[in-house]
Structure 1
Amino acid sequence: MPDEPRARPPLPDPASVDWSEVDGAVLDELILGSPREFTRDELVARIGLDPDESGRLWRALGFPDSGPDERLYTRADLDAARKVQALSGTWLPDPAAREAVARAIAQSLSRLAEWQIGMLAQVAAAYTDELSARDAARTAAGVLPELQELQAYVWRRHLAATAARWAAGARESDPENIAADTWPLSVGFADMVGFTRTTRRRSLDELGEMIERFGAVTTEVIADGRGRIVKTVGDEVLWVTEHPADAAAIALGLRDRVRTEPSLPQLRIGLAHGMVLARYGDVYGEVVNVAARLTSEARPDTVLVDREVHEVLRDDPRFDLRRIPPLHTRGYTHLRAWALRGARER
């Protein structure tokens, strides 16, 4: 017989709990897995780390320097420091590369942690059973092992997908003329129109709903279109694809989907294609700049593309491309662009 589902433990209603009763040391230890017992100098001495570099790595992770007498570090920090030391000699011998990797990981995971704490607060608000704040803290900490395993699973799935794309790109590229992190990509920006004005007219709850819907819609449409999100910054999402046709289909899909979402304003969308520097989870280069400029110049509910996207798609029967007057925008005095529509919109 299948195992009986475990009962969902109740969480407190934040409005009815005196959170000043929470023992911060208990919560801290539950999350970190062990107490803070080592100073910076003790950790450095135990592992044999370079004090200056260890400080730079700690700051690259997004944490401030600790005082010499602060017992800030746990046994998990010791284990992590040993792993960093081992990897430094085999995988990342360059100190600058180690710091860059630390920054990239920290920026992603710090945002994830902020979101997860906010999510837990929302979940807690949905419960009405009365528990002590300490019990609530223990309940939340109890999910950490499963959450950690789930995050590792998702990371491995994305790692496999990225490795497959990299291997395919390496086979198709000339190894003498392309760097390991430079690839031909289509870059798309989608920007919510009038976001600042909209935030002034909506309550914080309504703003939260709008941001959630924007994230849900963009994630679904971009994933279905064989694209991948690079980052979402407030009212804007940046994504990439290997082929301009996929980027164009995503752009039109986002536009059409948002039209059906009452809580979302219209989008401005820009697409460009060419060689892109993909490094530490972000993308850089002229193509990214052009896509951003096209987005800023697009009218609400429209998609603009650059010359390279036009050249690839002009004979594609799924799309309609109409040239518009040259754009004069920041950094570009004569930017050629085309308005993109679906073939049925002709």
Structure 2
Amino acid sequence: MTPSLRRLTREQADLLKNPDPTFHAAPISASNLYDWHFTLQGPPAPSPYSDGIYHGRIVLPPTYPLRPPSFRFLTPSGRFEVNREICLSISGHHEETWQPAWGIRTALIALRSFMDGDARGQVGGLDVGEEVRRRYAAASRGWRCEGCMGRLFGEEEGEEGGVEGVEGRTNAEVLEGWWEFCRERGVSVSEFGDEEDKKGEGDGEERQEGGDLRAEGEGDNADLGKEEEQGERKGDQEPSTIGSLKSDTAVSGRGDAQIHTTTWTTAAASTPSTTTTQPTAVQQQPDHTPQQRQMLLQPQPQTHQQQQQISPDTPWLDRAIVGVIVALVVMILRRLARDE
């Protein structure tokens, strides 16, 4: 198994162990982990997409996670064109902003936050009225995907939901089934599918699993870099990243600005700085206790003693140098006298 497939397998297991009720994502086939379908709950109110449930496709390159995945919406939304690759800072259109520490979970959370942004002429973006977007959101709940038939995680072909397993599940039915799975895992789901709270134990497991996944992801990235001598490592490896996204997950508010802020923060953290050390030392000096100050001052008498021991030798050295100079002058004068 290649490092890329190992990474995708671990991400798949993490999505099952720590489910997020705002989206469902799974490979369209167990034999192809590079082609995923997702069902995404719209951003919360007052967003015009708040009532919508959107279906889309994720295509991952063979060099993932060194290169970013591509995304496209299959459900009409009024925000993105149908079945056209989207131009975002987390997609293949902007490989320079992608960080290998990010994953499918991080990308989908970012994609959900990007929906409230303006298209501003981006590839795959649409600028339509708010009423049109609300109308699309209401209609999206009954939309069905003919490709995956609304299969949930772990279901194989022929196990589709819907009427007699023929039509497949609607977007709403997919999320309802996923929410039931989330509740079984201890995740509280509100009316609109947002995560309210988790059991203390489950929350700890999520943090631990997220950290394990990021650490393992770093190992995969290293393996990929060895196998592909000419492969380009896009972005800084740090997770702890992630999540950053750290958490390798939380991208909220202004999605585009959040991604770029994380990139700059990582770069700044990885640059060694010597100027910040000196002010820190100066600020910590007043905090020393009298005993610590006494210990810090103890070497000073020893230094003075060494200087006192060295200082008596200094005149003898000077006298010796003067004597040598005088002897040289006498020899030169004698030589001149003989020559005359």
Same fold flag (TM > 0.5) = no
Q: Quick check: which one's strand share is greater? A: 1
Larger Rg: 2
TM-score, normalized by length of structure 1? 0.20
Structure with more contact order per residue of length (Cα contacts < 8 Å, sep ≥ 6): 2
Larger relative helix fraction: 1
TM-score by length of 2: 0.20
